Structure 1
Amino acid sequence: MSAEFEAELKDVAGTLAQIETVLDLDALRADVASLEQEASKPDLWDNPEAAQKITSQLSHKQNELRRVSELRQRVDDLGVLYELAEAEDDTASKAEAEADLAKLRQEIAALEVRTLLSGEYDERNAVVTIRSEAGGVDAADWAEMLLRMYLRWSERHDYPTDVYDISYAEEAGIKSATFKVSAPYVYGTLSVEQGTHRLVRISPFDNQGRRQTSFAHVEVLPEVEEVDHVDIPEKDIRVDVFRSSGPGGQSVNTTDSAVRITHVPTGIVVSCQNEKSQLQNKAAAMKVLQAKLLQRKKEEERAELNALKDGGSSWGNQMRSYVLHPYQMVKDLRTEFEVGNPSSVLDGDIDGFLEAGIRWRKQTENA
């Protein structure tokens, strides 16, 4: 085996060994066995919400275990395959082994990112809110483009999504949208997307064809669970009901089933109109409100901690630029990660940005 190939293979195998240690494969196997036992109970689906959580966790942990095991097998096999190709002086097989090693390095690096998600809420589902900011109708259109980008990203990964509410703008696009993405560790993954996203392009809404800069804000929260104990007294909320509507005011529901909840002490307003039942919409809106209050509590605690530390790291508000004119580029302003194909990014290909963001955050925390 060539010294260069052997050194690279050893490096990749070492990274995988570190991942195996962090994931604790024995504990992972025990979790899978326990969840399989839970999933086989005859009364599992008496509580659909709990059943869905168990089956989702089981599927995720089985896939994670399978993924690590397959990577280990490929690493172990690759050295043998390369030695055979060298012994037979098979140039084509050696080139194939080198290509496989490069692919393995990428896949193991992607798995390594998952081990960096160790925050308190990282393994939860994510509740994402997108709001148009400065830029008028272009900003509303930009907010809708971002909504599509995240829904397409979720679709690429087979992550279920649930759109709670969309507030449509008058001319085009949306004022805001709130949706949930359900998958293990999706909050930790998407949390690096929080901040202001900037778009530069020739405005399709300007009859003089001028360049326009518009902004939209992305907020990412962890879905609340029963253990969070976010107490919201009834006297602190105002509940309004209204008729669900689509773009242009088109009615999509003939009853006042949509719900808007205002948290009076903080002024936080949330709404939900995707369910047919007013009770279901109220329950979904309350979960979003709890997530926002939980995030507010976390921010207050973080601010106090940063004050004690005499400052603290800040991500800054504007975090990514998408330029469609005069050149084509998407660049993250924190990580410096960039690509020259905005169309692919806007179609949901954002994994590179997510991985770079997660690594950057970990480095910032350790600095």
Structure 2
Amino acid sequence: MATDFPAEIKALRTTMGSVRDVTDLDTLRTQIADLEQQSAAPGLWDDPESAQQITSQLSRANAELERVETMDNRIDDLEVLVEMGQEENDADTLAEAEKELTDLQKAVGELEVRTLLSGEYDQREAVITIRAGAGGVDAADFAEMLLRMYLRWAERHGYPTKVMDTSYAEEAGLKSATFEVNVPYAYGNLSVEAGTHRLVRISPFDNQGRRQTSFAAVEVIPLIEQTDSIEIPENELKIDVFRSSGPGGQSVNTTDSAVRMTHIPTGTVVSMQNEKSQIQNRAAALRVMQSRLLLLKREEEAKQRKELAGDSTASWGDQMRSYVLHPYQMVKDLRTEYEVGNTSGVFDGDIDAFIEAGIRWKRNQERAA
């Protein structure tokens, strides 16, 4: 069946119209002009933190404007390419247009999702912690499967990651793992992955081959920035040092370089052992601690607003996805109802469709509230 290029191009332009409305290009251009003026000030770098904030905002604003303008130009070019192919009845040109249409549909869809990420911390890099839940050794193995899934997802996109802490279980898998995704909007994208994940399969650790259900929790927090005002008094922190260890308790470090940091008022605990020195682990732990307390403060404020409004709705993040490997193969998001049968692809990092569906679902929930 021949592609209906006019209809497809019209649909792309309609979507881009919505993107432009949300992005508000006139306001964005005004913001860029103002930031350019601030960045050109002679004494800009007298205050390095303020200068860094201004230049970062300018870079992000320019990138946002360029993304929208580039997509509009690509649609215009596609229309010209289609006209040329149809006028000359050139099959090669029309095949090229077909490929560009497919690429554009994917890119415009991703841009549309990006415009939905307008939360206070959505532009931030992310810190993700995965913890094994109920299910014994299967849960620990599941936690390691999820860690690999997210690292493979980041690798597919070329996003830099850094594993900050891994706590290995005795028999197999992980008790917990913490890693960073160091790219803008990592938090906005991955925040919809937070919650309880469930795995159903024939346990490879059960001699009788019985079906096992296990659970793992995923926590996603925005990475702290220097401009965030989260000060933690030293007397509120308890810091313990211990020797880093690898799988099976084998020593990977002969000094007490690992750090466990506890925030006494809230009981929040952060462990870091993957840096080379105690100083580096302490700095990394403090940064993650600040990020967690920042999010905790935000959640408490949101809870207070809900109580004032009489809203008793439970958190949307719990029990959010099932991964079923037996008696059939399926991964299903319980919030969005999105599901796929390619479980191996999902565990290999193919989770973009789940993330996109989650972002759209979350935005609809926010609008409804």
- Which TM-score applies when normalising by structure 2? 0.87
Structure 1 pair 162/18, CA: closer, same or farther in 2 (3 Å)?
A: same
Aligned partners of 2:38, 2:204: CA distance in 1, in Å? 54
Matched, 1:332 2:333: yes
Shift of 1:208: 1.1
What residue number does 2:216 align with?
A: 216
SS of the aligned residue for 1:294 comes to helix
Aligned partners of 2:95, 2:155: CA distance in 1, in Å? 34
Shift of 1:31: 7.8
Aligned partners of 1:193, 1:148: CA distance in 2, in Å? 14
Structure 1 pair 11/330, CA: closer, same or farther in 2 (3 Å)?
A: same
Structure 1 runs not aligned, ≥5 long: none
Pairwise CA RMSD: 3.3
Among the aligned pairs, what percent are the same residue? 65
Matched, 1:13 2:19: no
In the alignment, is the contact (CA less than 8 A) between 1:168 and 1:175 conserved in 2?
yes
Aligned partners of 2:37, 2:19: CA distance in 1, in Å? 27
Aligned partners of 2:210, 2:198: CA distance in 1, in Å? 17
SS of the aligned residue for 1:231 comes to coil
What residue number does 2:180 align with?
A: 180
1:23-102 correspondence runs (5 A):
23-24=23-24, 64-90=64-90, 93-94=93-94, 97-98=97-98, 100-102=100-102
1:1-367 correspondence runs (5 A):
5-24=5-24, 64-90=64-90, 93-94=93-94, 97-98=97-98, 100-311=100-311, 313=313, 314-367=315-368
Aligned partners of 1:249, 1:335: CA distance in 2, in Å? 40
Q: What do residues 103-162 of structure 1 show as CA deviations (whole Å, max 9, x unaligned)? A: 422321111100100001111111111000000000000001111111111112222212
In the alignment, is the contact (CA less than 8 A) between 2:196 and 2:317 conserved in 1?
no
Structure 1 pair 57/348, CA: closer, same or farther in 2 (3 Å)?
A: farther
Aligned partners of 1:37, 1:154: CA distance in 2, in Å? 35
Alignment-mate amino acid for residue 310 of structure 1: G
Q: What do residues 2-35 of structure 1 show as CA deviations (whole Å, max 9, x unaligned)? A: 9954343223112213323433557767888999
Aligned partners of 1:333, 1:271: CA distance in 2, in Å? 31
Shift of 1:67: 4.1
Alignment-mate amino acid for residue 351 of structure 2: I
Shift of 1:50: 10
Structure 1 pair 312/84, CA: closer, same or farther in 2 (3 Å)?
A: farther
Structure 2 runs not aligned, ≥5 long: none
Aligned partners of 1:97, 1:162: CA distance in 2, in Å? 39
Aligned partners of 2:322, 2:192: CA distance in 1, in Å? 15
SS of the aligned residue for 1:218 comes to strand
